[in-house]
Structures are given as structure tokens and as C-alpha cells.
A and B are shown apart, each in its own frame.
Chain A
Amino acid sequence: MLDYGPDAILMKGLDGSNWRLKDYEARGGYDALKKILRENIAPEAVIAEVKKSGLRGRGGAGFPAGLKWSFMPKQYAGAKYLVCNTDEGEPGTFKDRDIIRYNPHMLIEGMLIGAYATGAGVGYNYIHGEIWAEYELFERALDEAHAAGYLGKNILGTDFSFELHAFHGYGAYVCGEETGLLESVEGKKGQPRFKPPFPASYGLYGKPTTINNTETFAAVPWIINHGGDAFLALGRPNNGGTKIFSVSGHVNRPGNYEVRLGTPFAKLLEMAGGMRGGKRIKAVIPGGSSAPVIPGEIMMQTDLDFDCVAKAGSMLGSGAVIVMDETTCMVRALERLSYFYFEESCGQCTPCREGTGWMYRVVHRIEHGKGRQEDLDLLSNVADNIAGRTICALGDAAAGPVKSFVKHFREEFQYHIDHKRCMVNVPGGYFTVSNPSAGRAA
């Protein structure tokens, strides 16, 4: 049995092989859809229930899901689309992969309810390029749902129809941005669009489109079955429900844990087996690599919900918790993250295209003992000139780590510049983030 923790509601009762339709139905699957169709619940009432639940987007932005659904034009005569974002490539995040490989029908049912509520006739689930086996498995789940009459025309004998297809990406972080993703589905480079107009008015093929994260859709059947109030009560006001946290880095048991929003970080760390080798916690990136880093001692006092993490100076993001212990060189850690944003910038906006490379080169030279006194101010300046000056959030995402690493760990960067080596390391030793013990012995 897969263990996501005692609070799990979405990932409960899964063993890795019981993903099929019959297994899902045995767990009460498709009951929420049946209830809506049987009782002829109005789309507005479905949206109201989701609004009441306090469900906020699980992909990173935390936007209220019910509110997003309500933006879809009701009287629109043409095609409307529903899109699921399973393009999970935010470093540290690996929860949506578990949903589609272990409980794919929960997502399909959530999308069916979303389609019913927003009036969408066709949907796509955009799956991260690097996870092929999961894409194939999801296609098999779609075939099962079709054969059972849950997808297609006149679902379960009603006049509700919905077609759902899987779309396989091919390696581009920026396609996790919703409008970049839509461009990609249209068969183009995944360069994000300027907003407004938002997808609800101009989305896929220029048609009204709702796009949500995998985990967001996956929570919807539970909300319909148990009520928005019950979901809200699992978490905190404005932070309804449970959330799957992906814990990676220097912990004993990296993995996904589903806990109630508002759970103390210290409790999550305990679930993940505590710090590897009993080392001291140095820093945590609480919401995927784009979220500002927080010193460990602050994080240990922080509860995991959107508002508390924001108050602590970061963001809950996708719920990807990257834990770093005392052996981590923060300069080297930032160097790797900066390289990532440089590599993945789509090149459309000058501040991001040029700025991400510039930041990487500066951090790289500090890490390699060639830092200059003025570099820390320069980094801050470049980051400030990217943030808020680009079409999509990738620019902000690239600037955030630079600003927060330098802010919280300035003395380490300064030490690198002054001494041409790492202050974490013993003198003269080579330090790798990945294998601190080797670095220390050298």
C-alpha cells in the first residue's frame, strides 16, 4: 500500500496497481459525476460548491478554482475547452505524476465535472514530456472511461457530452505556464501570451478555455461527494482541503505526502523521516524552485498554507518542498537554479532572455572563485530589472531565488567573493552539493 499519510483523502487506498476503472469505482469513483447527472444539479450550483470549498489552484498560483470556473462565458455559442496542466516540471514537484499513474480516473472525473460546470465540450490533459509511461497509462484510463460511457456523447444516457484527450509535451518548462501550454497544444513554440485577455475569454484556438492543475481537478469529486464545507473544514479559512506536498532533498524519506493545509512544516519534515543523517536544517524552498528560499529556523516555525508561507516570505507554490541541510553550499545551489532558468527562458522577453543568462554567469563566477565585490549589488539589480517586466511569471521565478538566496545567505556569497572558496567547505576541499561527505573528506 502506498502511504501518503493519515490525512490523505485523494491518495487514499492506493497500492500502485489499483488504478483501473473497476478499482476506482470500488472506491466510490464516478459517484460525484453520477450524483450531478442524476439530481440534475445546475452548473452554477457545482461552481458554488467548489467556491465554498476554498479550493485554490494547486499548480502554483493558488487562484480560487471556483472563481476561475465562473469566468467562463455562459451564453457563448461556439466551442469551449477544458485543459488540465500535468506539465509538471517545476523543480521539486512530482505529485501530479502520482495522480495520473496511481489514480487517473479521479482526474478524469474531476475534469468531467469541470466540463459540466463550465460548458466545455472537449478537453486535453497536457502531460509532461519526460513521463511517457504515465502518459500511456493515462491513455488506457481514457479508453476505459470511454468504454464505460463516462466519456463521449450522451454520458450515462444524459445530454451531457465531453471528449477528453491526452497530449504529450516534449520538454519545455515554460509550457507549464498556462498560455505557453495553450500555444503548445496549438502546435507552436510554447511562448506565453500576454494577458489579458485571459484564457476564459481567449484560450485554446481563441475559444473560452478553463485550465487547472491536475491536483485541482482531482480534488473536485471529493468536494462534490462530501460538500464544499467539509473540504474547507479539512484546511483553514481561505485554504481549504488537503494538499499533496512533494518533499525532496536532504530528508530520509523523500516522497509525496498529503496533509491538511495548515499543517506545520515540522510535522511534514517528520513524516519525511526527518533530516538525513540527523544534520541541521539550513534552508527550505517551500513551493518549488521558483519560490523564495527560507532559512530553516523560520521554516520550522511556519505552517503550510498559502497565507502562512506568504507571511514567512515565500510562497506555497506547487507544494514542492526542497530541504537543504547544513552541508549545502548556497552559492552552488543558486548557481544550479540560475542555470535552469537561463536554459528554460523561452527568449521572448528581453529582460528574461538576457537577464537569466547574466545572473547565471555572475553566480557561476562567484561559485568559481572569480566573484567581484560589486557582484552582489549587480545580481540584485539584474533581478529587479527582470521581475515584473516580462510577459509571463518565468522572469519573476528566475529573479526570486537570486534575491532570496542573496538576502538570507549574503555572508556565504560574500565569503566566496572574499576568499575564493566556500565557507561551508573545509579549506581547499572540493564541495559538491550532491555528495557533501566526499567534499568534506577532500
Chain B
Amino acid sequence: MLSAESLKRIDREIAKFPAEQKQSAVIAALAIAQDEKGWLATETMDFVAQYLGMAPIAVYEVASFYNMYDLAPVGRHKLTVCTNLPCALSGGVDAAEHLKQCLGVGFNETTADGRVTLKQGECMGACGDAPVLLVNNKRMCGSMSNDKLDKLLAELK
């Protein structure tokens, strides 16, 4: 269900915890599963549950609680823009508006070609670099002027 590479990464996480506490690795395991699959389908979560010896419902609870998991398909790239107050004071809302215009979508929507999903984010802990956005949960981009946003969009195929 998950690739050998993903399972290796999950095993590495499991090893961080006491033998009887495999469940501690569920947050990482779901993140790794999402990296591979793009989003978390029920069967993916069920596999993680089985792999960690957890009840499926306990895995669904975690997946629906933490906001970086996607429980429905998203575009090839997910852009999460912080619009919280410190960012908003330095152009965070403007950056989000610029992206909406360029992409022709609102928050929680995906472009028709399936290229980009736009999300509104909460504090990423990088307010000094505002406007800030996150690409695919992993890559943080700061000081995002409209020029830089345009360049980023051109780069995302």
C-alpha cells in the first residue's frame, strides 16, 4: 500500500519511541503517506492504522485534527498563504489576493487544470518574513512580493 521507501521512513520514526508506543509515530506516518499519495484516502489511513497497530478511528481523528493533512485530493501543488494579523500588517492578505487573481480560484479551491490548490494558513512562525507562504507543506517562501509570487507560479508546473 505504501512504497518501501515510505515504510523505511516510517520505521525510522517508530524507532524514536518506546516499543509499546508505536502510535507516537502516527503523525509522521500520515505525513509520509501524504507525501507519497498526494492526499489521505480512507484506505491509506486504514493501512497506517494497521501498520501501527491502531484502531482506524484513532488514525482518522489525528488526520482530521491537524490542518496540514489533506483528506481530499488537492492540486499538484498546494500553496498555503498566511493571512494572520502579523503577516496581514505586512502584505499577507495582498499576497493571497494576488494569487487568487492569477490563479482564478479562491481559498480551498483548485485550478481547473489541477495544477494549484490555494489555502489560507495560520501562523507559520515566520512573521518577520511576511508575506509568507508554504509550498506543499515543506518549502517556506518569505517576503513574497507580487514579482516573487509570479516567479513562483511560473516555476510550478
Contacts and interface: CB of A to CB of B under 8 A. Distances in A.
Given A94-B125, A172-B66, A188-B62, A322 B94 contact: no
B30 A170 contact: yes
A433 to B, nearest CB: 5
A130 B27 contact: no
B138 interface: yes
B61 A189 contact: yes
A369 interface: no
B82 to A, nearest CB: 9
Contacts of B85: 91-92, 289, 322, 333, 336-337, 340, 433
A205 B68 CA distance: 25
Interface in A214-268: 246-250, 254-256
A355 interface: no
B86 interface: yes
A30 interface: no
B26 interface: yes
A131 B127 CA distance: 12
B84 A91 contact: yes
A188 B58 contact: yes
B93 A432 contact: yes
Contacts of B137: 129-130, 132
Interface in A166-214: 167-173, 184-190, 205
B127 A320 contact: yes
Contacts of B91: 434-435
Interface of B: 16, 18, 21-28, 30-31, 52, 54, 58, 61-62, 65-69, 83-94, 121-130, 134, 137-140
Interface of A: 79, 88-94, 96-97, 124, 128-133, 165, 167-173, 184-190, 205, 246-250, 254-256, 289, 320, 322-324, 328, 333, 336-337, 340, 343-344, 346, 432-435, 438
Going nearest first, the 9 A-B pairs with the smallest beta carbon separation are A187-B23, A171-B68, A130-B124, A248-B86, A170-B66, A248-B127, A171-B67, A165-B16, A88-B125
